[in-house]
Structure 1
């Protein structure tokens, strides 16, 4: 099974947690900020640990847009590692809406808005 880092906007936290649970029940190990960053933890340190130990990044597209500083750093880091041959994959998911950034426009995404179950199945298959 895969080690997965979930990058999402805080406004989509409920949907991100639901997706994380779905992936966990399918056997994947999921890193999600609200579950893996505790009171007193260094946010930057925990995110760095999560990105280092979970090479696959699920980029959750949002109806609130994609211009969020934390998300941008997370997916850009994953893309740089992928392009440098470090392993792992950047896997976009249309979680609540939105569009891919221009640099990722050629990457197929799982569409959970159109069909949640089919989208989760497609994501699960990509992670295997």
Structure 2
């Protein structure tokens, strides 16, 4: 039988259990009932989300801060992208700020009214035929087109942007948006560098140099030499008509959202080395702490613009 997966913070467990009881046990996956001693929790959660028909997020301030909720939500978004029949229901139960990319799923908005929120969720799940109303928006346009964001980037092309940050949940189209902005706004190609946990200054310098078709840094080069080589390679790529796009930067952030020192130094050198007429793009599923010397010009949807 199709069932709903309830995602919640530990502080909202009592409300989640009330919802689970209202939906009946066979219609819901609830951690208190369905996790067994010895289960590998991440695997069990992923399997249960993939096997569910509905994903219900009880959105509260604590839930928005929870790493487990973020983990579950990312899996649900991936499932939603792959399965046209999959449904995500976000229910705001306090005055938390719901990420703009979750707004299409905000079917129930009852801050401070938890009992009403439960009633509304149950009505959706137990509607005639066992389904819920499909949203009127197109999944493809939500992920791919991004017309408003492209227009927002066009609006600031003459503002001297050093960096454009694209951030949001996995699968919402940050990479596609970066590629489209490069071609449609800046008439450039993209030179994309997906970052991983194994990246260090040497590896990044080698990748940048190879992409720019420059001589590779010498063996045992100092950090200062590697930084200079990296900045020169970025400038070379820009001069050759490319936008440099550092993608997946959440992979290198620490728990506080800070960059490794070598990335901070690289970005500082980049924005001090020249006046860019083409910005550097950054994309992340986590919000990073950017350089203190950068000023945020504006914020629109998943985009933030920074200048010196």
Using the size of structure 1 for normalisation, the TM-score is 0.81
State the SS of the aligned residue for 2:105.
coil
Matches within 5 A, 1:1-128: 2-24=2-24, 29-127=27-125, 128=127
Structure 1 gaps of 5+ residues are none
Equivalent pair of 1:78/1:90 in contact (CA under 8 Å): yes
Q: Deviations over 1:15-70 (max 9, x none)?
A: 11111111217xx6111112111222211222122112212100111132502221
- Deviation of 1:112 after TM superposition, in Å, equals 4.6
2: CA distance between counterparts of 1:96 and 1:14?
15
Q: Secondary structure at the match of 1:18?
A: helix
Instruction: Name the SS of the counterpart of 2:24 in structure 1.
Output: helix
Structure 2, gaps ≥5 residues long? 128-308
Larger radius of gyration: 2
Distance 2:20 2:28 in 1: 6
Question: For this pair of structures, how many residues does the alignment match?
Answer: 126
Conservation of the 8 A alpha-carbon contact between 2:8 and 2:63: no
What is the alpha-carbon distance in structure 2 between the residues aligned to residue 61 and residue 41 of structure 1?
26
> Are the equivalent residues in 2 in contact too, given 1:93–1:110 (CA < 8 A)?
yes
Q: Secondary structure at the match of 2:6?
A: strand
2:104 alignment partner, SS class:
coil
* Runs of 4 or more consecutive aligned structure 1 residues displaced over 4 Å after TM superposition: none
Residues 116 and 71 of structure 1: is their aligned pair in 2 closer, same or farther, counting only changes over 3 Å?
A: closer
Q: Could you say if the C-alpha distance between residues 59 and 65 of structure 1 is closer, same or farther in structure 2, counting changes exceeding 3 Å? A: closer
CA displacement 1:54-109 (0-9 Å, x = unmatched) = 12100111132502221112112212222333421110112344232221123333
C-alpha contact 2:4 2:27 (8 A) present in aligned 1: yes
Task: State the secondary structure of the residue aligned to 1:39.
Answer: coil
Q: Check 1:65–1:81 CA distance in 2 against 1; reply closer, same or farther (3 A cut).
A: closer
